[in-house]
Structure 1
Amino acid sequence: MEIKKYLGDRKRLVEDKLHSLMIAAHGPFSDHIEAMRYSLFVGGKRIRPILCLASAEAVTGDPVLLNEALVTGCAIECIHTYSLIHDDLPAMDDDDLRRGKPTNHKLYGEAGAILAGDGLLTFAFELLARPGASMRTTRQLEIIRLVAEASGSLGMVGGQALDIAGENTNYPFEHLKTIHRSKTGALIRCAIQAGALAGDAEDQQVDQLTRYGEAIGLAFQIVDDLLDETSTTEVLGKSAGADKARGKATYPAFFGIEETKKLAQQAVEKAKQALKGFDTQPTLLVQLADYIYDRTH
């Protein structure tokens, strides 16, 4: 399948599933739920749930298990959205624009935005722990553990803490790698691992997809660093040049634009290498790796 068609088809699947799962904004909590829904449905590539689903599709064709992967991917998207809401707050990155629209706190206030993020985070685990899931209980528990770890203090949250603490600080490149591996890479890797587990993959397949996910997560963040310096606010849907303005360490700051492009390409090739010898040829995962390198926003 051509990658643009695949991304469009899977994005529609994700959007439909998110709408079917997400709480409706009515009753005494309607304002709070409206704030949650605003950021969840304001746009976005849905790359994490798509990667989760693509990983499952690489190991199974069972529609029941693929639906489990889809729900799992939607939960991860809720966590990703919560992180964006909190990242944009004045106490953190202080951004007014996200996905080409006003950030959550510009519409709902800082307290409302914090609570919207909290609501999305906890709703994600409600989805992951739902009774009656069709996958094996041991696999469901493993997914919950992986998501908690990837999004917590040793993953995404910890990476954000390091990122903020390191503004206008000359720290070594290894420190930047830790930030990227944690803040962005951990949840992307987790989406791919979770998809494999939801699809009841064999241990060897999980191992290969984990290595693929680690490389793709790094490539994604390196490309983000590039786009922050080379793209525009209109194309990105968020403030271009923000990292440089805040004195954040990035790959271009260490290596320059051209060398950073080479490093991103190397990460993509490493991801493809991780799939060598896979039971079935995961063509779409290979194409997704190229898409992550070639994307413009």
Structure 2
Amino acid sequence: MSSLNIDHVSRWFGNVVAVNDVTMTIGPGVTGLLGPNGAGKSTLINMMGGFLAPSTGTVTLDGRPIWRNEKIYQEIGIVPEREAMYDFLTGREFVVANAELHGLGAKAAGRALATVEMEYAQDRKISTYSKGMRQRVKMGSALVHDPSVLLLDEPFNGMDPRQRMHLMDLLRRMGGDGRTVLFSSHILEEVEQLASHIEVIVAGRHAASGDFRRIRRLMTDRPHRYLVRSSDDRALAAALIADPSTAGIEVDLAEGALLVQAVDFGRFTRLLPRVAKEHDIRLLTVSPSDESLESVFSYLVAA
């Protein structure tokens, strides 16, 4: 069983800091690397896979440095997000080529293609593949040498529901077999369905860690902002601000609405309809104003 250790790792490109002092350990099982687009997930995975050197800090596999350690590649498989592939090759030729880099042959490539259910299209050129098919043949290429560590960058992009379920089942089996599987996503629901452990990264920083229940709880317990329109905004604001679940209310003249900051999510969701009914106020609009993943986890970074 293998473990990846990221110890105070930073990576910058010129003046841009892509990963900022991240420390985490990725062990056997399925781990989800969750964060909004541009958070630094791909940079972190590329350092774990040995494609990028950390600017500071270390990335190791079972205590061995990954950067410039060729033997490590016998143990790591990586499925990058980028689409660049050898489109003039067939799927089988692509996987066989990767098998040969590991000193293996067509038999290993055949097993890998069967694992990702791409045998039916293995003799078609990659240029004819859909995005989901490309993802699966990249997965086959990463599995051809039977690695103990698998790194996947946004692997579900472009997959139809059946392909998605098949890949989820495959990753669950691999995690259950004791392999170390890490996949990135910006969609919490994807991570919840698959990962036993979640690492959250926002703006290059490590924001939170735990199982999906803890991450959900952190999200729910944070302050929430709502845009509310009603038949009597003034009376509604006066009633809401008197309750401890509401930390502040602003009047948005441009929107013709109230911006309400709720610090007790559960209490506020019960309070709002009750107050409206008691004061005979019609609620015209109630919508979260900050529900992007960026806003959700930026709160965790600042906490």
* Range into which the TM-score falls when normalised by the shorter chain: under 0.3
TM-score with structure 1 setting the length? 0.27
Provide the TM-score with structure 2 as the length reference. Answer: 0.27
**Larger helix percent:** 1
